Amino acid sequence: MSANSTNPHGYKDLPFFKQTEIIYDFTVEFCKRYIDYKSRTKDQMEQAARSGKQNIAEGYLQKSLEGRIKLLGVARGSLEELLNDYSDFLRQHHLGLWEKNSAKAQAVRQLVYKNYNDYNNYKDYINSSETAANAMVCLVNQTNQLLDQKLRWTEEKFVSEGGFRENLFKKRLAQTWSQAGDYEIKEVAGQQTVVTNKKAGFSFEVPDGWKIKDESDGVDYSLNLLSPEAKFDEDNFLLIGCFMNVETIFDKASVSNVRASIQYAGKDLSEKIVQIGPYQALQRTISPSVVSTDPEVLKKVRDVVQVELPINEEILVSFVLNTKKDYSERCFTLLNQTLSKISF
């Protein structure tokens, strides 16, 4: 059993985390020596290096695999941004980029195998801008390869075991609920069904032909919307179509966390800010790149899009779309249509 499986701080022993510490320390020194301290590039490089390290730490403190995948993806995206910055530096300053199999590149790549691998092993490369940038190109590439491998393993586990939200839905799907008291569902012949949450103060139209299952547990108020063709296996994993989970959460901490994430959404390629009426919402996308050939794993692969919408200081509305690959484009369109027709 690995250290980090029993201790949430065990990530500090992971090779790719140690390497991001080296990358961060080296990048700070590199910027101090070779990048104009007034330039935006300096801030961007230092922030990207720090993000690569910090998001691994935060990812391993997450309780769900979904959260870990998201934050490891943020770390991976930040390191790719940093890699491009070092490559741009070499090109713009007419400096040579080492060939992957050159003696110089191989010497740098061997440093990660030292028992006490830390920043001191790389200090000799900082004295020249060309060797410094090339050394980081080598190390960032090595770190990205390790992160890519970890992401593939984690994503396979996510789809084979089911994520936090899907497991929650599986438990709900096996039950029969009464209609949640905070929701009013109006079905009018020839028109789309309209769902209103009076307590939270919003309403939306249900896509044509979708089935509605609603639930209230006294804290989170939820609706589960199933596409007409949605089918599940005996374990309630989605096999065909898509489903949308709508939760209205009354919690100040949740609102605060989402609003903080909105401020930094531009750093993560899997996140973007969307405008819904007068409010800004955070959209996250998870598209697993599973390498397994196991049919039992492959049948459970699906894309996930989550939109979190803070309405005020203590009300958060969450739309989570789960869709099979063949239905992604159509289901994404229906999600966007649903979001565009929310009334407050």
The 10 Å CB-count burial string (b at 16+, else e) for 273-302 is ebebeeeebbbbbbebebeeeeeebeebbb
* Residue-wise pLDDT tens digits, 24-41: 999 999 999 999 988 999
For residues 76-99, average pLDDT: 94
Q: 310 vs 18, 93, 106, 225, 285, CA distance in Å?
A: 36, 46, 50, 21, 18
Top-confidence residue, 7 or 261: 261
DSSP type of residue 213: E
**pLDDT at res. 320:** 86
Tally Cβ neighbours within 10 Å of residue 96.
Answer: 12
Q: Same domain for 139 and 279? A: no
* Residue-wise pLDDT tens digits, 127-142: 999 999 999 999 999 9
**pLDDT at res. 28:** 96
Q: Same domain for 121 and 205? A: no
Q: Same domain for 275 and 142? A: no
Q: How many domains does the chain have?
A: 2
* Residue-wise pLDDT tens digits, 80-90: 999 999 999 99
Q: Same domain for 107 and 234? A: no
* Residue-wise pLDDT tens digits, 306-339: 898 999 888 888 888 888 877 888 888 989 989 9
Closest CA to 133 of 143, 122, 119, 148: 122
* Residue-wise pLDDT tens digits, 237-286: 778 888 888 888 777 777 777 787 777 665 555 678 889 999 999 888 76
> Which of residues 161, 193, 214 is at a domain's end?
161
Q: Same domain for 73 and 117? A: yes
Q: Same domain for 144 and 211? A: no
* Residue-wise pLDDT tens digits, 207-219: 988 988 765 554 4
Domain limits for position 251: 164-340
SS3 of 291, please?
coil
**pLDDT over 90, % of the chain:** 32
Q: Same domain for 179 and 149? A: no
Q: Same domain for 58 and 150? A: yes
DSSP element (H, E) containing 253: helix 252-263
**pLDDT at res. 174:** 40
* Residue-wise pLDDT tens digits, 172-208: 444 322 235 677 888 877 788 898 888 888 999 999 8
> Average per-residue pLDDT in the chain?
80
